[in-house]
Amino acid sequence: MNRWIVGSLLLFSVSGYSAFCSAQSQGSDVDKARSALAQKNQDEDASRQLEEVFQSAKKNYSLQKKGSHALTYYFDYSYTGDQRLDLAISNGSIRNIDVVPSATHTMTNSFYYEYGLDDNITVSGRVPLVVKYDTQDELSLYDVGDMSFTARWQPLAYVPGKMSTTLFSTFISKTGTSPYEIDVNRQLSSGSGYYSLAGGASVSRLLDPVILFGSLSVSYNMPVSGLNQVRGARVLEKVEPGFGLSGSFGFAYSLSYDISLSISTQLTYSNQTVLTFRNGEKAVAQDQMSGFLSLSLGTRISETTIINTSLGIGLTAGAPDFNVGLSLPLNISGLKE
């Protein structure tokens, strides 16, 4: 048990995105911890290896080793349901009221690539492919989502028994279909519609046989102008999305050498969004809080492959009702050292 927990902490880092990528930041963190399980075929004697870890004079970092690559596939399904009011108004009077249930199904296939610039510096990129379906309006979408690029830096080498800290920064593009450039009655969006910059720090600590981890980040969402979207009787020209704060915490526990469990919670604050229309009017979407609880299980199916499955539950009205996820490493010979 100690063997994989120690190895986990050496490989573990909490890489955060901002509010845009909610539960996935936790999945990436725990994947790092679970990757130690894949080394079973290279293990010699557990006691001797544990001793070597503690006595090694070489600096150990939890990021990708210099010059090494990693490619991971993620699949996420999320469901958001609500109730819409169908009103018929005539001469100022309401003639008909109907409550219509609606649901949005979103499936995202993501490819996450990491490269070690140095033992304590890792850069990564994420390419999401989005499939979305709205049951009420019978709308569907198949498109690329917002791609993101992240740099992580671990300033100090990991010391057994001490807290490990990683700093990170993320840039999110607007490669997905913008919600501010579509016909809102006939189309769906796959992206946020604006560029974002995020930065923060994550920490982790080993309390055998548990790894505790947490993360805090702030994001700045860049304003978008030059729009020409019809919304009712008005034309949208500018969007100012403001900033966001995101915090997460949780723990990973090794049930055995082949099974690990993690539980984490993410809380996100989104500042108010200001919409400016061509006639000079402005509409303000008030700030909001959202919370998400995630349960994840890591299972080794071979000596080198671990499948991670997760279940997320929305804790607030602003979060999806639930989310189901799957991730596994893609072993491509051309990406190996």
Domain ranges, residue 290: 2-67+114-309
Q: What is the pLDDT of residue 222?
A: 95
Residue 143: what pLDDT?
A: 96
333 CB-contact burial (10 Å; exposed 0-12 / middle 13-18 / buried 19+): exposed
* pLDDT reported for residue 91: 59
pLDDT at site 45: 44
Render pLDDT for 216-263 as a digit per residue (tens, 0 to 9): 999 999 999 999 999 888 899 999 998 999 999 999 998 888 899 999
Q: Residue 93 domain-assigned? A: no
Residue 192 forms part of a structural domain: yes
Which segments of the chain have a pLDDT < 70? 1-61, 82-102, 332-337
**Whole-angstrom distance, CA of residue 59 vs CA of residue 182:** 51
Residue 135 lies in a domain: yes
| Count: domains in the chain | 1
Task: For residue 324, tell me if it sits in a domain.
Answer: no
Answer yes or no: is 100 within a domain: no
Residue 104 lies in a domain: no
Predicted TM-score of the model (pTM): 0.78
Give the position of tokens 């061509």. 278
In a domain, 75, yes or no: no
Q: What are phi and psi of 166, to 5 degrees?
A: -130, 130
In a domain, 175, yes or no: yes
Q: Can you tell me the distance from the alpha carbon of 212 to that of 291, in angstroms, rounded to the nearest whole number? A: 19
